[in-house]
Structure 1
Amino acid sequence: MNRPELDYYAVLDIPRSTTKQDITLAYRRLAIRLCPHRDKKDAQDFVPLAQEGRLTHLSPMGEAKQWAYVNMAFDVLGNDLYRAIYDRYGEAGLFEGVMLPNGYFPPYQYHGEHMKVYESVFASYSPYANVIDAITNPPSLYSTKKLGIGVRSKDADTEKIIQLSLEEVRSGCVKLMHVWRQEIVDAKESRLEKRKHTLKLNIAPGTTAGTRFCFKEEGDRYPASIPGDVIFIAADKPHPEFERRNLHDLVYRYNIDLGQAMTGFIFFISTLDKRQLKIVITDVVHQGYCKVIPLEGLPKCRNLDAVTAIKEANKKNDQFGDLIIEFNYIFPKYLTPTMKSMTREFFREFHKLEVELEEEEKQKML
């Protein structure tokens, strides 16, 4: 920046911790004093400080400059997103644009229409407000030799599916998406050319399938229309070992034989973030049995709005889903007569012991 940054809180004479309601009240107090359309003869009723020759704390600046600063300050602080960016990145971040956790914030530019800000707070400032707005903020027009003059309409959005591996969902990543779009390549807007354009896509840890990442007006450029949005829709890429369930849980399937199912076993799982989990099973793995390992699933992506995402940009996510282990029984494909005889004898003895244990339990209860 070539000039010192403007302190918008000082302009409205409020502390940085003030609420949005108090920001609006501070603006209303100053706007009543500084609005150029106020009736001067009623100034004494609303502005006691006028008796002292100073209207606001911004004196000795001229009223026109005070009026401009007050409206610009409220345009920023009265908007939750602009205020969050200003608080974190300063005026430089507003004017230059910043990369946020859920997309790019383009450079902010104050529109300069002070009465438009005034009207948004006080509901109206003139019976001809709609006519004035149409003049001061006209619709986007085109003018070409072929089509003449008309109002630009927005093109249809372009939607693309982006496949994300579970490893990318687990840790988060940045994707550079290359799209080809029509662009105007001459000053007369008569020649179009296909050119590659790169969009930066920030994938937050735990991003769920179906999440939409919208890049506003990044579609094809045509002289007579407004570019459509480019939207990327997240989808899960099939994984050889894990499957997502309930948004943030992971399912892992492990094959066991009947001996393991009845006697217990130990095995290891390689996690998505390259750790080794030791799993000890001591229970009898009956039909429908599953082992749940808490907090070993995917991060819980809360899909925060831009304001909250800025405030919690450096905060570590400690909320995870669970790892659910399901078991598949592998039966022997063939048993010899001897093996069948041994199996019958085993289960005969097994059931005999079960009956004896039941009898002992009954005796103890008596």
Structure 2
Amino acid sequence: MGIDYYGILQIPKSSTDLEIKKAYRSLALEFNKEMLKSDNAQEVFALIGEAYDVLSDPLRRAVFDQYGEEGLKRGVPMVNDYIPAYHYHGDPMLTYKNFFGTSSPYADLLDVLKHPPLLYKMSDGNKAVRKKQPPIRHPLALTLHEIYFGGVKKMKIHRLVFVNEEQSRTEVKEKILSVPIKPGIRPNTEIVFPEEGDQNPAHIPADIIFITEDRPHEVFTREGDDLVMIANITLEEALLGTTVTVKTIDHRTIRVPLTDVVSPAYEKVVEGEGMPILEQYPDKGNLIIRFNIEFPSYLPKSSKEMLKKGFHLAKIGGTSNQHEVINKLVLADKILRVDPDERLPPFDY
């Protein structure tokens, strides 16, 4: 005669899934090998684990109910299928860990001692467990100026609070929360105010969570710890060079010289002029300048010829000083266009 798994768990065959779990929980805590070191107790602990492994699975339980332990472990042929033989993995502690989430036989007791459930008295005099309300999330839009300097942002909330000693009556009250903003704080950062939600006799107040987001800026956008801006320059400035004036978030004016030929994909990086780096304050990221090149709507034929000549000479002489060659040609063309009578007299050494 095979093993009676119901008998091992000391439950009737009609037991529900919840009753099976309760029976296993009670016996597993009693015969845990950490508490009882005898060989007999360890064998019983293994049988308890196997019994729960079978009866907690609907298919295994159905096969066991119809064919017993022998049929379960031999396998059952069907009309068009075959139910494979069952073999217990042989590690009752694995079953125990999967059920309790730990191998400690004292975990259940210690959790209750350290974190006793909060109770409240119902109208009928009985007591019930107070459950915590789900968190309340609010977006917190910050300007780049606020993120750059950091500080404290005041946020007004309205919440229900107890107004009597029995904590049975509540009223809506206004409260100001001081939200700390660290320099360089990143988007989607959660700032938590524990249990600042509505007070209620039957519930633990919810946490209030502010989630940061960057407010759009008229000049800069933020990419990680870097600031990015778009500068509009003419084609002449892109080829011959210019200086870009930037008003920074901390109210300074910096002038960035452009000496390279600016192509559509060109970026000018100014080190240390970005946002504060949160973990390395007061270090800062970089300022990245990208360019929108404005092309002239019309070029006279003489100008096209001049540019063509300049590009040709640049190809012959190499491209390292191409913009200087073009600059000299344009300057020479301007001198030649001046009326001879208006030219300055030659300098006499």
Q: Which amino acid aligns with 1:278?
A: R
* 1:345–1:136 Cα change, 3 Å: closer
Q: Distance in 1 between matches of 2:157 and 2:289?
A: 40
Does structure 1 retain, via aligned residues, the 8 Å contact 2:264–2:293?
Answer: no
Partner of 1:351: 311
Match of 1:190 in 2: 168
Q: Deviations over 1:290-348 (max 9, x none)?
A: 1101111111112xxxxxxxxxxxxx92321111010101123x32xxx4313321222
Q: Structure 1 residues 197 and 153 mapped into 2: Cα distance closer, same or farther (>3 Å)?
A: same
1:42-57 correspondence to structure 2 within 5 Å: none
Give the length in aligned residue pairs. 217
* Residue of structure 2 in register with 1:318 after alignment: 282
Aligned-partner residue type, residue 177 of structure 1: M
1:286 aligns with 2:286: no
Structure 2 residue identity aligned to 1:262: L
Question: Does 2:272 align with 1:295?
Answer: yes
Give the Cα separation in 1 of the matches to 2:310 and 2:204: 78
Alignment partner of 1:325: what SS?
A: strand
In structure 2, what residue type is equivalent to 1:348? K
1:253 aligns with 2:217: no
Q: What SS class does the counterpart of residue 278 from structure 2 fall into?
A: coil
Give the distance between the partners of 1:136 and 1:352, measured in 2 at CA.
Answer: 84
Aligned to 2:218: 240
Give the C-alpha shift of residue 255 in structure 1. 0.1
* CA displacement 1:55-82 (0-9 Å, x = unmatched): xxxxxxxxxxxxxxxxxxxxxxxxxxxx
Within a 5 Å distance, the mapping from 1:55-94 to structure 2 comes to: none
What displacement does 1:128 show? 7.9
Residues 147 and 171 of structure 1: is their aligned pair in 2 closer, same or farther, counting only changes over 3 Å? farther
SS of alignment partner, residue 286 of structure 1: coil
SS at match of 2:300: helix
Q: Summarize deviations over 1:114-173 as a string: whole Å, max 9, x none.
A: xxxxxxxxxx9xx98965874686311011327842000000100000000001111101
TM-score under structure 1 length normalisation: 0.55
Distance in 2 (CA, whole Å) between partners of 1:128 and 1:344 is 89
**Aligned pairs for 1:327-366 within 5 A:** 327-332=291-296, 334-335=297-298, 339-358=299-318
Distance (whole Å) between structure 1 residues aligned to residue 124 and residue 303 of structure 2: 89
The structure with the largest alpha-carbon Rg is 2
From 134, 138, 146, give the equivalent of 2:116. Answer: 138
Distance in 2, Cα, partners of 1:229 & 1:236: 23
Distance 2:240 2:294 in 1: 15
Alignment of 1:165-204 (within 5 A): 165-204=143-182
Structure 2 CA distance for partners of 1:295 and 1:146, relative to 1, 3 Å: farther
2:157–2:174 CA contact under 8 A, matched in 1: yes
Aligned-CA RMSD value: 2.6
Residue 272 of structure 1 corresponds to: 249
Summarize the Cα distance change of 1:226–1:265 in structure 2 as closer, same or farther, 3 Å threshold.
same
Matched position secondary structure for 1:349 = helix
> Which residue number in structure 1 is paired with residue 239 of structure 2?
262
- Closer, same or farther in 2 for the Cα pair 1:355/1:212, shift >3 Å? closer
Q: In structure 1, how many angstroms separate the alpha carbons of the residues matched to 2:248 and 2:286? A: 12
Q: How far apart are the structure 2 equivalents of 1:147 and 1:241?
A: 64
C-alpha distance 352-213 of structure 1, shift in aligned 2 (>3 A): same
Question: Letter of the aligned partner of 1:351 in structure 2?
Answer: F
Residue 202 (structure 2) pairs with residue 224 (structure 1): yes
* CA distance 1:219–1:260, change in 2 (3 Å): same
CA distance in structure 2 between the partners assigned to 1:235 and 1:223 by the alignment? 34
Amino acid at match of 1:300: I
Closer, same or farther in 2 for the Cα pair 1:156/1:130, shift >3 Å?
Answer: closer
Q: Which amino acid aligns with 2:304?
A: R
Residue in 1 that maps onto 2:186? 208
Name the structure, 1 or 2, with higher relative contact order (CA <8 Å, separation 6+). 1
- Match of 2:306, as an amino acid? F
The 2-side partners of 1:217 and 1:351 are apart by 71
